[in-house]
Amino acid sequence: MLENWIPEKVPLSKLLKNENNPRTITKAKLQKLIESLQGVGIFKPIICTWDYKIIGGTQRNIAILELMPSSFEVYIMRPPRPLSQEDYDKVLLLDNAHSGQWDMDALANNYSLEMIEDVDIGVKIPEPINPSEVDLPNLGDGSDPDIQQVTFTLSNEQKDILDEAMDKAKKEEDCTDEINQNKNGNILAAILRAYVRC
């Protein structure tokens, strides 16, 4: 059965924050949202649960509170009945799919892979890796002075470039090393060695 949600006008102070909101917003984007509200006003209602917990519109609520006191009234949409947890999660994911950016930790910690795939919000969460099923090199206990473990943070594009370079180095370079038994570490060292020689 198709149900209409109920429009209502309430003060901001009545709205309850969603502590598990899977969306975040940068300061720059929040400032743009504030400027947009100042320019054209509030044209989209905040989506709430039956008991006024925000489902969609958290960032808008934050932006409005930057401009107006908590007594300021806004339009909201509430369901005609209390939502099941599954319906709540679906509405939250659907309503938040097109603004801000996803907080991947909040998504992974609060929503099942099946729910995220079912709602199709355009995010691919990788399947968790079971360490016992992965053949990892023996890095020892960290006491070897000749070995250092290094971690990098890369964008997807940078990671693609690294993968391409490592595949090329595997084919063209002798990547063995007497001290380091980590194959990928040796491949990366060969790439860096070639760069330093340029």
- pLDDT value at residue 191: 78
What domains are there in the chain, each with its CATH number? 6-119 (3.90.1530.10), 136-197 (no CATH)
- pLDDT value at residue 187: 79
Q: Are 121 and 97 in contact (CB under 8 A)?
A: yes
- pLDDT value at residue 142: 55
- pLDDT value at residue 137: 54
Residue 39 tokens, joined: 């320019």
Cα-Cα-Cα-Cα torsion 92, 94, 31, 17, nearest 10 degrees, comes to: -10
- pLDDT value at residue 119: 61
Distance, in Å, from the CA atom of 110 to the CA atom of 64, rounded to the nearest integer, reads 27
Question: In tens digits, what is the pLDDT along the chain, a chain of 198 residues?
Answer: 788 999 999 999 999 988 877 777 888 888 988 998 998 899 999 999 999 999 989 889 999 999 999 999 999 999 999 999 899 888 888 886 665 667 777 777 777 777 777 665 666 666 665 656 655 555 555 566 666 677 777 787 888 888 888 888 777 766 676 677 777 777 777 777 777 765
- pLDDT value at residue 9: 97
- Which amino acid, residue 187? I
Q: Are 7 and 77 in contact (CB under 8 A)?
A: yes
